[in-house]
Amino acid sequence: MSGWYFSNIVLIQATMTTLLLALSIQVPMRVGVFSFAGVGAFGIGGYAAAISMTRGGLGTVPAVAIGTILSGVVVFVLGLLIARLTGLYLAMATVAFTLIIAVLAVNGGDFTGGASGIFGALGDITTLSLVIISIVVVAGLTLTERGGLGRQLDAVREDPELANSLGISVTFHRRMSFLISGVLGGLAGALTTLLRSTITPAEVNFHLVVLALTIIVVGGSGSWIGALVGSIVFVWLPTWLTFVAEWEELVYGVIVTLAAIFLPKGLFGLARDQFHRYRSRRIKREAGLTDTAPKERERIALRTAEEAK
């Protein structure tokens, strides 16, 4: 066990930072906001942490805190600015935001290290602290998925007009989702940077946006569990199948396309639906209700429809 742990420590840590990044995209999605600003926050958090460590001489904890808070504030302000946009326009505006962050990093001169980025920002981050951070984040998100708040967020996503008329403030929830997205993205960026000790503008590109989206699409956007499933799949898949490592992009492309067509709720959504179906069938059987065969039911429905004509 410990042998396995030490030989895979990089992957274990990567799973958790990837999870945080994926969550920064998933949280806005849960209120119906298709925002990639979390990836931009990843860049801001990474750069802020690296700069405050190498230039400001700060320790690991303050550096991560600065990166997280700064990106949270920036993305929150971004959310206020683009509050009018919806759907694809909002998605592309946030992609543009992310890419602008990269251009700023390239042109930042000595401050951001230009195209070669920043080196030597090695923080003191243990796997245990990563686990604790992940658990705290996940516990917080679980609270937003359950009970009244969970149902409110579902209403905001599925039907904003209805939510408004029920007295749920759509604007408030959308703003909060930007703030949380910024915080999570910044946290992911700061942690990743201090683990690897470097950050370059090339890391904050369209490819990272695609990776984060892929994780959510395959895992499922309904819950943090989906993001976890996706993170595990995409961090570990290349190590399980050498074929995958060789043709990584191609395999991901096929997976994403198939998921977009056949799995609207992702792997987690599929598992949950199957479970619900199984349970309702069992409850019916136990209650002594004989379930008419689906084909038979269809035939009856067709016949009644014809008779109605």
Partner 1 sequence: MQDVLNAATLGSIYLLFALGMALAWGTIGILNFAHGVTFMFSAFVAHLVAQSVALPMPAVLAIAILTGAVLSTLTQILAFQPVLARARNQHAAEMRILIAGIGVASIPLAIAQRMTRSAPFGFGNSTYEAQVFEFLGLRLTSTALIVLIAGIGIGVGITWWLKVSKQGLALRAIGVDAETAAGMGVNRFGLAIGTMAIAGGLAGLAGALLTYQLTAIAPETGDQLLIKAFAIIVLGGLGSMAGAIIGSFVLAAAETVMLVNNLGTWADAVSFGLIFLVLLLRPQGILGRKAVRRT
Q: Which residues bind partner 1 (CB under 8 A)?
A: 34, 81-82, 84-89, 91-93, 95-97, 99-100, 103-104, 106-107, 160-161, 164, 170, 206, 210, 213-214, 217, 247-250, 252-262, 264
Minimum separation from the CB atom of position 199 to partner 1 (A): 18
- In sequence order, the β-bridge partners of residue 199 are 118
Minimum separation from the CB atom of position 226 to partner 1 (A): 14
Helix axes 224-240, 127-145, angle to 10 degrees: 140
**Which is closer to partner 1, CB of 35 or CB of 231?**
35
Minimum separation from the CB atom of position 197 to partner 1 (A): 25
**220: its two tokens:** 């499922």
The residue written with tokens 């991901």 in the block is: 252
Q: How far is CA 296 from the centre of its chain?
A: 42
**Which is closer to partner 1, CB of 87 or CB of 140?**
87
**Which is closer to partner 1, CB of 103 or CB of 289?**
103
* Residues 177 and 141: beta-carbon distance below 8 Å: no
Q: Write down the number of H helices and E strands in the chain.
A: 15, 0
Minimum separation from the CB atom of position 266 to partner 1 (A): 11
**Which is closer to partner 1, CB of 60 or CB of 152?**
152
**Which is closer to partner 1, CB of 60 or CB of 94?**
94
**Which is closer to partner 1, CB of 52 or CB of 98?**
98
Minimum separation from the CB atom of position 243 to partner 1 (A): 13
Minimum separation from the CB atom of position 44 to partner 1 (A): 15
Phi, psi of 199 (to 5 degrees): -145, 135
Q: What is the DSSP letter of 121?
A: -
- Taking Cα atoms as reference points, which of 244, 222, 243 lies closest to residue 235? 244
Tell me the one-letter amino acid at 182. G
Please tell me the total number of residues recorded for the chain in this structure. 309
Task: Report the 10 Å Cβ neighbour count for 100.
Answer: 12
* Residues 37 and 95: beta-carbon distance below 8 Å: no
